[in-house]
Amino acid sequence: MNLEAADRIKLLVLDVDGVLTDGRLWFGADGEALKVFHVRDGAGIKALQSAGVAVAIISGRESPAVARRAAELGIRHVRQGAQDKAAALGALLRDTGVPATLTACVGDDTPDLAIMALVALPIAVADAHPSVLAAAHHVTRLGGGAGAVREICDLLIEART
């Protein structure tokens, strides 16, 4: 990772399925029943926020579990059901006042390419789709839902020190 660019990041935007989770969708008779989040990712997000970097979520799906996890972690900017992720990012940047030039995002699949192209630091998790890996400026060692977000948070914090 280019730590020189990373030290200017003021906003980290995360996808959910495949980034904060392992990408599997668990369904029961009543619909989505479960999402599994890695506790170390949560610790990393809290540490990054304490270091002065805002964290946001943009997800193409809607899930009460995401809203709950975001609330637990103090993530105030959550856009779920975003069919147009670039438009959701634009609204998020307006709401936060953070320009794209000071923003990083983490993706894993082709719907994330639109926002990856707009930010200063596009990041892919290790098990991302090949097109996302090719578009990323940094690729994590760990896969989505397996501590990749903690890895990113630690790198961004390290870059600030």
Show me where the domains of the chain are located: 3-55+62-91+108-160
H helical segments located in 21-98 = 39-50, 64-73, 85-96
User: What are the C-alpha distances in Å from 108 to residues 31, 33, 48, 142?
Assistant: 23, 22, 21, 12
Which tens digit of pLDDT belongs to each residue from 87-96? 999 999 999 9
Check residues 10 and 63 and name the one with the higher pLDDT: 10
- Is 2 a residue whose pLDDT tops 60? no
Which tens digit of pLDDT belongs to each residue from 67-117? 999 999 999 999 999 999 999 999 999 999 999 999 999 999 999 999 999
User: Distance of alpha carbon 115 from its chain centroid, rounded?
Assistant: 11
Cβ atoms of residues 140 and 152 within 8 Å:
yes
With tokens 């390419």, the residue in question is 113
Q: Does domain 3-55+62-91+108-160 have CATH number 3.40.50.1000?
A: yes
